[in-house]
Structure 1
Amino acid sequence: MTDQPIAQLDSHPSPASPAPVFSRAAVVASCVGFVLIGALQALYGPAIPAFREEFGLSPSVAGLGLSAHFVGGVAGVLLFDRLYGRVGNRHILGSSYLLMAVGAAGFALAPDWPTALAAALFAGVGFGGVDYGLNQLFAVGFGHRSTAMLNILNAHFGIGAILGPALIGVVGSEHYPAVFLCFALANLPLLLCLRGVRNEVPLPGGAEDGGRGQVLGRSLGSVLGVFVALYVLHIAVEAGVGGWEPTHLETVGYGAGVAATATSVYWLMMTVGRFLVAPLALRFSAQAIITVSCAGMTVCLLAASVPALAPYAYAGVGLFIAPIFPTGLPWLNRAAPRARRAGAVVIAASMVGGVAAGPALGKAIEWSGIRAVPLLLCGVSALCLAATLWLIRATRSR
């Protein structure tokens, strides 16, 4: 079963147009944009030692930089969702790129920490706009190829997340202002490619049947709630592995170097997984892909509780978890084509899940110990699988 064209619209959608949503140049520019937002999110962590030295910060206060970024990201998603369908797509994306550029430059040049936090918040709003805007438009812009194209788009986020820390490592954290300034400048050429983005919102799939959608036997609110739960839970697994894999591996006997390398491989496998699933998305439904992904990461997390298998099992988690975020958006929009804000809600929820996962998992680890990390995450992954199976039944087509 392949994906059909979908969208989230306000109550008065624009007429359908035969023009494509993206030109080829705009597709390439969009992928570059996702490299940039991946890099921006990943730049804060490696630069923390320099923040602390420059502004005299404690570790917890220095960590507020990334928190401000995520808060801005949620605000950006919700703000630009309000504008989607009312303001042209080019204006939404152009404003987002400019906000990221200005925020990143402000962070680099900030004379004090409060100003730097405000700039990080500002850049986060632009980040959220790009994340929401491009995910939304890729979900409606390629017909049955939308799932494949979303996986390719989000794979470029992973490329940026790998390159950002590597760049900080090459130049040294003390030179983080120069890196953030280069990032700010890199956003500006993308504005020239926005002419290749169709400005009006495409007609939603399901409009021809009166917008009934596919939600049967369950309330729309229940379906959206379980989709939000799926996104929050799988992001919790993603962030939990990324944050605790090194500590767990060292606790079970691996050296610090091996643990760090294994964690890098985990993030690399997430990027590879999205590229690999793109051709599969042309042959298999989103439901089937997500079911296999949730089952696979659950098995891998269970295997990670065996010390000899742990580094390889965590790499498998990265491979299986990779398609869930981009593949779920077309399924959501197709299941509830008239739930205009559904995409914004789940994208914002994924960001909130990433922020909340750390403290929640930390409390659970205090109670159970470091060695229980993979089993705790396995339980969360099993909930993802249960949510997916419930959604398959609740959104079954007539």
Structure 2
Amino acid sequence: MSAKTLPPQTSTPAMFTRPAVVASCAGFVVIGALQALYGPAIPALRTEFGITPAVAGLGLSAHFAGALLGVLLFHRLRGTAGNRQLLGGSYVLMALGALGFALSPAWPLSLAAAFVIGLGFGGIDYGLNQLFSVGFGHRSTAMLNLLHAHFGIGAVAGPALAGRLGAENYPWIFGITAVISVLLLVTLGGVAQKEPSPEKQADRSPGRSQVLPVVAAFIGIYVFHVAIETGVGGWEPTHLETFGYGATAAATATSAYWLAMTVGRFLAVPLTLRFPAPAIVIVCCLGMAASLLLATVPAAAPYAYLGVGLAIAPIFPTCLPWLNRAVPTLSGAGAYVIAASMIGGVAFPPPLGTAIESFGVQSVPLLLFGLAMICVLLSLWLSRSTSDADSAVPASPPAEAPSADGEAR
């Protein structure tokens, strides 16, 4: 990768004050924890409501169904409501859903509460991703990686807290997330009401006939890399056990994999300030593929999966600003790829499980290697197809506080 030269800064409206940036990172800690808490709560849910593991797993399905709708609703309302109102409504929904899940007396009401949590989750996920991708100029990719690293902190801390307090105390943990969500409402005054108008890039953007293939290629990268992410998370312990690793060692290696994704996003922050997004994504896709091949070697497998986590980490947050620069005339592109990533996380586990039944557990890294190579090919094609658009890196706005109407003072 060759280092890029950044353009001089220009005076453009700031989207966030510094306290609002900190609060946004805290919001991603909350949504990371909420997504990861359903699994640890399953034993207590089964005992409390007398349900099977499969039925208890519907809580996460209801969450993701709500999240998908939350993404689409936030995108649909962006043109008619301000950012503060949309983010505030999402935090309120998340708080109400978490409180309902904590206090629910019956399982159907718990599922409804999980759906409401998902609605707010989707709004925060899409809303902050979109605002960070356009709100920091050439630093947007770095800031998105920082934002997603905090999601990882929540995903690690939530289950750890549940393990320490005991699954039976899950209502208290969901209640804590509800309180934090309400507290974050007071920080929304530091978020600009409207996004800046997109820069005119008609001469550098792909032609109308190529916009859909470009967006489809980005969706492909999002769907397949999320499929790899969930595939490794779900099947790594079983695969390692076929190599003779004990259950404890396999579980520890899987926890290290998830932690590597968080560390990888923190490590990516300085790299995104020096190297262009296409180069980072291509290298990460190649890293995924190489690490999955290495995972076929018994002695190297635990470390190889660690490499997969590090390589996957920057892809989601690094692709978003690249997508916005590549198709600036399509305002809904970010919503499409985030929604597609959620669908991919839900849709791919069943066919992957069927393939593993046919070829055996030891085929896991090779099956995922095939998906990684598709990501490599898509990223190479996108780099060539969007090279002119990505070379026009927008300047970074100064750290000015937005006023009540969203304009910089």
> What's the TM-score, normalizing by structure 1?
0.94
The equivalent residue for 1:274 is 265
* Residue 155 (str. 1) matches residue 149 (str. 2): yes
User: Is 1:295–2:275 an aligned residue pair?
Assistant: no
Question: 355, 360, 366: which is aligned to 1:369?
Answer: 360
Q: Is the 8 A contact 2:74 2:123 kept in 1?
A: yes
1:79-125 Cα shifts (integer Å, max 9, x gaps): 00011132111001101111000001001111111110010000001
Partner of 2:343: 352
Measured in 2, the distance between the counterparts of 1:325 and 1:218 equals: 25
Match of 2:334 in 1: 343
Q: CA deviation at 1:309?
A: 0.3
SS at match of 2:388: coil
* 1:123 counterpart letter in structure 2: I
Where in structure 2 are there 5+ consecutive unaligned residues?
390-409
| Paired letter, 1:228 | I
Does 1:96 pair with 2:90? yes
Determine whether 1:128 maps to 2:122.
Answer: yes
Identify the residue that residue 52 of structure 1 maps to in structure 2.
46
Q: After superposition, what is the alpha-carbon deviation per residue over 1:307-337, rounded to whole angstroms, capped at 9, x for unaligned?
A: 1100000000000110000000000000000
Question: Counterpart of 1:397 in 2: which secondary structure?
Answer: helix
Equivalent runs, 1:63-82 vs 2, <5 Å: 63-82=57-76
> Residues 353-385 of structure 1, C-alpha deviation per residue, up to 9 Å, x if partnerless?
111121121011011100110111111111111
Note the C-alpha offset of 1:219: 1.7
Aligned partner of 2:108: which letter? P
Asked whether the equivalents of residues 63 and 114 of structure 2 are also in contact (C-alpha less than 8 Å), the reply is: yes
For residues 85 and 265 of structure 1, the distance between their equivalents in structure 2, rounded to whole angstroms, comes to 41
Distance 1:217 1:308 in 2: 50
Match of 1:249 among 236, 240, 247: 240
Cα gap change, 1:330 to 1:4, in 2 (>3 Å) = farther
Of residues 34, 37, 40, the one that matches 2:31 is 37
Number of paired residues?
385
CA deviations on 1:141-182 (whole Å, 9 max, x unpaired) are 100000000000000000000000001101110111111111
User: Partner of 1:61 in structure 2?
Assistant: 55
- Give the deviation of 1:389 after TM superposition: 0.8
Matches within 5 A, 1:1-398: 1=4, 18-205=12-199, 207=200, 209=201, 211-215=202-206, 219-397=210-388
Q: Displacement, 1:188?
A: 1.1
Cα pair 1:3 1:143 within 8 Å, conserved: no
Native 8 Å contact 1:41 1:66 kept in 2: yes
Deviation track 1:200-234 (CA, whole Å, cap 9, x = no partner) reads 121113x2x4x455215962111111111110000
Asked if structure 2 preserves the Cα contact closer than 8 Å seen for 1:2 and 1:144, the reply is no
Deviation at residue 18 of structure 1 after TM alignment: 3.7
Q: Distance in 1 between matches of 2:126 and 2:98?
A: 19
Measured at CA, do residues 2 and 94 of structure 1 come closer, stay the same or move farther in structure 2, by a change above 3 Å? Answer: farther
Change beyond 3 A, Cα 1:228–1:4: farther
Alpha-carbon distance between aligned partners in 2 of 1:3 and 1:342, rounded to the nearest angstrom: 25
SS for the counterpart of 2:378 is helix
Paired residue type of 1:237: I
- Give the match's secondary structure for 2:387: coil
Question: After superposition, what is the alpha-carbon deviation per residue over 1:28-65, rounded to whole angstroms, capped at 9, x for unaligned?
Answer: 00000000000000000010111111111111111000
Paired AA for residue 325 in structure 1 = F
Cα distance in 2, alignment partners of residues 373 and 164 from structure 1: 28
Deviation at 1:396, TM superposition (A): 2.4
Identity value in percent: 62
Distance in 2 between the 1:195 and 1:201 partners? Answer: 15
The one-letter code sitting in structure 1 at the alignment partner of 2:129 is N
Q: Distance in 2 between matches of 1:124 and 1:212?
A: 39
Structure 1 unaligned segments of length 5 or more: list them: 6-15
Contact 1:102 1:123 in 2 (8 A): yes
Aligned-residue offset at 1:281: 0.4
Contact 1:2 1:285 in 2 (8 A): no
Following TM superposition, by how much is the alpha carbon of 1:17 offset from its aligned partner in structure 2, in angstroms?
8.6
RMSD of the alignment, in Å? 1.6
Asked if the contact 1:217/1:394 (under 8 Å) is kept, the reply is no
CA deviation after TM superposition for structure 1 residue 78, in Å: 0.4
TM-score, normalised by the number of residues in structure 2: 0.92
**1:223-253: CA deviation from partner (whole Å, max 9, x where unpaired):** 1111111100000000000110011111111
> Residues 87 and 390 from structure 1, CA distance in 2 versus in 1: closer, same or farther, beyond 3 angstroms?
same
Is the contact between residue 13 and residue 196 of structure 2 (CA under 8 Å) also seen in structure 1? no
* In structure 1, distance between residues paired with 2:218 and 2:334: 10
Report the residue type matching 2:294 in the other structure.
A
**Equivalent AA in structure 1 for residue 339 of structure 2:** A
Q: Which amino acid aligns with 1:70?
A: F
- C-alpha separation between the residues in 2 aligned to 1:337 and 1:4? 19
Contact 2:264/2:310 (8 A) holds in 1: yes
- 1:3 is displaced (CA, Å) by 8.2
**Secondary structure of residue in 1 paired with 2:348:** helix
Match of 2:397 in 1: none
